[in-house]
Structure 1
Amino acid sequence: MTQSPAIVPSRLQVRRSSLAKRMVMNRLDRLASGVLEITDEGKSVRCGAGSASARITIHDDRFWSSIFKNGANGAAESWIEGWWTSDSLTDVLRIFAREAEVQYSLSDRAWLSTIKSRLWQAARSGSVGRAKQNIIDHYDLSNDFYKLWLDPSMTYSSGLFAEEETSLAEAQHAKYARMAEIADIQPGQHVMEIGTGWGGFAVHLAQHCDVSVTTTTISDAQYQHADALVQKLGLSDKITLLQQDYRKVQGTYDRVVSVEMIEAVGHKHLDSYFGSIERLLAPDGLVAIQAITIPLHRYKEYLGDTDFIRRYVFPGSCCPSLAAILDAASNSSRLRLIQQDDFSEDYAKTLWLWQQNFRARAQDVMNLGFDERFIRFWEYYLSYCEAGFRERSIGLSQLAFAASGNRSC
């Protein structure tokens, strides 16, 4: 793929780039859990120590200034511009996932970045109007785009892999089946789903569990796809689609389910999320949630920062810690946690498979009108997430809660 056009630098820019390079290389040499082999202008240098290793090649001196100014986000931005490449991007990002202090030290303006990050997050927080725009920014790109590399059910969340040879489609089916199991969904019940996605879970519940499903989304593109799917499958008598914020949904439901939607809620709105669930849930009902989480020891720092995901992929998002989830459930409801299981490694594999699909269909993505910067953006995003799950800097949990009137568990 081509890189951004080279610009002839001024003498001042050359001096600044040279200084930035020296400073960044000095800090990279502090890496203790991996060696980074850097090739620049035909010469290779090894930085750091440890058993892990990865290689990068610099194509433009602006890479160094970008890192020096913006740290980890500068690395992402310069990858998207084509200023550096790697034959093992996920391995590069895994090394940095282990080295938070080194990552933070790369920028000479870390303190300023923190202030800007907090202002950015405040502007993108999950009010009803802001939440809709945040969803549109990511999910309403193009249904045809997501069809190219997701499984046939258009499921954009982690699957569960029982065996090494389990396919992506089988893994997504297994995830849906397990969510139905931990919620003890029984035939004839009425299930509320918060976050429709492209309709995969609602269809699974209607077809395999013989229940009625009411599901809500605020994404225009996802609503249109799900509506067409329901009509095509003849499930309009089993599935009711709503296009409204979950906080405005009315009714009482035997079960409430939500797959990787809590991340869009925002830390300040977690209480409202669980309060809404309890309001919608029957007195003896059960809840199943699949959530991407942040380890508790990182959570305070994470809330004050804006990493690549929160800045460029899911504006206004927040992956809660398990403690934050339990605190919110306790603060705003009488729901009791009855089960929690970790599936972080399954998400790493899901992301790896998505990457293989995405790379295989890159030309088809460009045929939809997206450019090479867009391709590099998605390459970085998928590798960034895989690295996070591999190194457990992010996690995946399935959780089940029982209403206060439920005496069966």
Structure 2
Amino acid sequence: MTDLQPTRRHLDANHWPGLDVVPTGPRARVSARIARTLFRGAVHRLPVTVHVGDATYGRGGPVAVVHRPEEFFARLGRDQLIGFGEAYLTGAWDAEDLGGFLSVLAAEMPRLVPEPLQKLRGLVVRKPPAEQVSSPENSQQNIAHHYDLSNELFQLFLDRTLSYSSALFEGDEPLEEAQVRKIERLLDQARVGAGTRLLEIGSGWGELAIRAARRGATVTTLTLSVEQKALADERIAAAGLSDRISVELRDYRHAQGEYDAVVSVEMVEAVGWQYWTTYFQTIDRVLAPGGRVAIQAITMPHDRMLATRNTYTWINKYIFPGGFLPSVRVIDEITRQHTTLRMDAPFAMGASYARTLQRWDQAFLAASDRVLTLGFDETFLRMWHFYLEYSLAGFASGYLDVHQLTFERAA
């Protein structure tokens, strides 16, 4: 495994614009002082250990070391959680058990900032840039930012099914087995079998479509990723199922035809809250009488969803432009108010996502030298590791969850 501790001199400003510049000036100094005070107050009562120069904060627990305090607080003061993540990318701070440290912070996320100051949130946090809103004009660029990075990159840390979503674990079984269980449960919920006309929104690399076709279904699967489509077509052909599966480079809003079942795995998160109604109305439009819908969705608590939906996050900037997580409640409200779809009892599986992410990160770190040979740099390694552990922390702490949601027509 390669060393994941770059300094600022390793940063290529062409690949990481602005990341090599530390905030300076009077305003930066003031915001840094405020950030230092708030950080110290928040961490002081948490079960963590944070070393900042000669000082140590926290009640004991996962250890973080702030190597360059001036940079750390300058970034945190100017850009809040985005700056916190960027300070990790530059090596201004580190943690040996990154996921454990972040899990403690995630569990306390609604309370890290004193409640009176939370009312000023709208004046401080940045709003998502207009060019990242997942409109018909922007969606393909948003998807390409992440999913068109490199098929080879994803193959390095995913299992053989190339499933890039939460598996469903029952014990300590191999990741591939848990991924197959997840897929088969979704297909069962949608009652996919011989003769089913299935629409999949979000193709991934084709595994769900292949398994549905093996049940005797005819599958139309939609993607906006050129790279995913190329490899999905290749895998489908190798399985001898090209006559039963059509992979279309098409926005979900332009779905055509009538289907007995619609399945979508962790796609609604990329839609953006502005288009959730459109997403479900599209599914409603193409679903045949008596049809079923099965969706796997990463979710967050309803109150946090409402509080953060206009917030530009580190994940938006570096990983998923335009993405935002719904709550189960808002999905239920939208489908009841704007469609004929009615949701069955949700099936929660957040603990499985924490385990899935742990497996992915272990595989990614083990393959870090090979990631470098693909043309990615050390800052990318730190970014991807932070992304996987940051996500793991959300599920391990219970701040995030993932649900399989089943819908049928209102009676």
TM-score (norm 1): 0.89
Asked if the contact 1:293–1:321 (Cα under 8 Å) also holds between the matched residues in 2, the reply is yes
How big is the shift at 1:3?
2.2
Asked if the contact 2:300–2:401 (Cα under 8 Å) also holds between the matched residues in 1, the reply is yes
How big is the shift at 1:101?
5.1
* Corresponding residue to 1:124 among 110, 132, 137: 132
Asked if the contact 1:355–1:379 (Cα under 8 Å) also holds between the matched residues in 2, the reply is yes
Matched to 2:49, the amino acid is: E
Asked if the contact 2:142–2:321 (Cα under 8 Å) also holds between the matched residues in 1, the reply is yes
TM-superposition CA deviations, 1:136-174 (whole Å, max 9, x none): 0110000000000001111100000011x2111001100
**Structure 1 residue aligned with 2:92:** 83
Distance change (3 Å), C-alpha of 1:211 and 1:87: same
Identity %: 34
**Structure 2 residue aligned with 1:323:** 329
Q: Distance in 2 between matches of 1:251 and 1:301?
A: 37
1:274 paired with 2:280, answer yes
1:158 paired with 2:169, answer no
Q: Distance in 1 between matches of 2:56 and 2:251?
A: 52
**Structure 2 residue aligned with 1:188:** 195
Asked if the contact 1:139–1:221 (Cα under 8 Å) also holds between the matched residues in 2, the reply is yes
Q: Distance in 1 between matches of 2:91 and 2:408?
A: 50
Q: Distance in 2 between matches of 1:396 and 1:227?
A: 28
* Corresponding residue to 2:143 among 119, 122, 135: 135
* Corresponding residue to 1:59 among 43, 67, 76: 67
SS of equivalent to 1:69: helix
1:305 paired with 2:315, answer no
Asked if the contact 1:38–1:56 (Cα under 8 Å) also holds between the matched residues in 2, the reply is yes
Structure 1 unpaired stretches of 5+:
none
Asked if the contact 2:31–2:77 (Cα under 8 Å) also holds between the matched residues in 1, the reply is no
Distance change (3 Å), C-alpha of 1:46 and 1:224: same
Q: Distance in 2 between matches of 1:317 and 1:19?
A: 28
* Corresponding residue to 1:231 among 221, 231, 237: 237
Asked if the contact 2:107–2:398 (Cα under 8 Å) also holds between the matched residues in 1, the reply is no
Asked if the contact 1:281–1:403 (Cα under 8 Å) also holds between the matched residues in 2, the reply is no
**Structure 2 residue aligned with 1:20:** 32
How big is the shift at 1:30?
3.4
1:337 paired with 2:346, answer no
Matched to 2:6, the amino acid is: Q
Q: Distance in 1 between matches of 2:327 and 2:314?
A: 18
Report how many aligned residue pairs link the two structures.
Answer: 393
TM-superposition CA deviations, 1:194-213 (whole Å, max 9, x none): 11011111011112x22111
How big is the shift at 1:315?
0.9
**Structure 2 residue aligned with 1:293:** 299
How big is the shift at 1:19?
8.8
Distance change (3 Å), C-alpha of 1:101 and 1:189: closer
**Structure 2 residue aligned with 1:39:** 51
How big is the shift at 1:14?
12
Asked if the contact 1:193–1:202 (Cα under 8 Å) also holds between the matched residues in 2, the reply is yes
> Which stretch has the larger CA shift, 80-89 or 307-316?
307-316
SS of equivalent to 2:204: coil
SS of equivalent to 2:303: helix
**Structure 2 residue aligned with 1:215:** 221
Matched to 2:101, the amino acid is: V
Q: Distance in 2 between matches of 1:218 and 1:124?
A: 15
Distance change (3 Å), C-alpha of 1:283 and 1:72: same
Q: Distance in 2 between matches of 1:127 and 1:304?
A: 16
Q: Distance in 2 between matches of 1:333 and 1:16?
A: 49
**Structure 2 residue aligned with 1:68:** 77
* Corresponding residue to 1:390 among 396, 404, 407: 396
Distance change (3 Å), C-alpha of 1:226 and 1:45: same
1:368 paired with 2:374, answer yes
Structure 2 unpaired stretches of 5+:
11-20
How big is the shift at 1:46?
2.4
SS of equivalent to 1:34: coil
RMSD: 2.6
Matched to 1:254, the amino acid is: D
Q: Distance in 2 between matches of 1:241 and 1:337?
A: 28
Distance change (3 Å), C-alpha of 1:117 and 1:26: closer
Distance change (3 Å), C-alpha of 1:24 and 1:404: same
TM-superposition CA deviations, 1:17-56 (whole Å, max 9, x none): 7993685155423347623322344x35123x4xx72211
TM-superposition CA deviations, 1:55-109 (whole Å, max 9, x none): 11222231121122222221100101111111111122112212335644699x9
Asked if the contact 2:166–2:352 (Cα under 8 Å) also holds between the matched residues in 1, the reply is yes
> Which stretch has the larger CA shift, 80-89 or 373-382?
80-89
> Which stretch has the larger CA shift, 92-101 or 220-229?
92-101
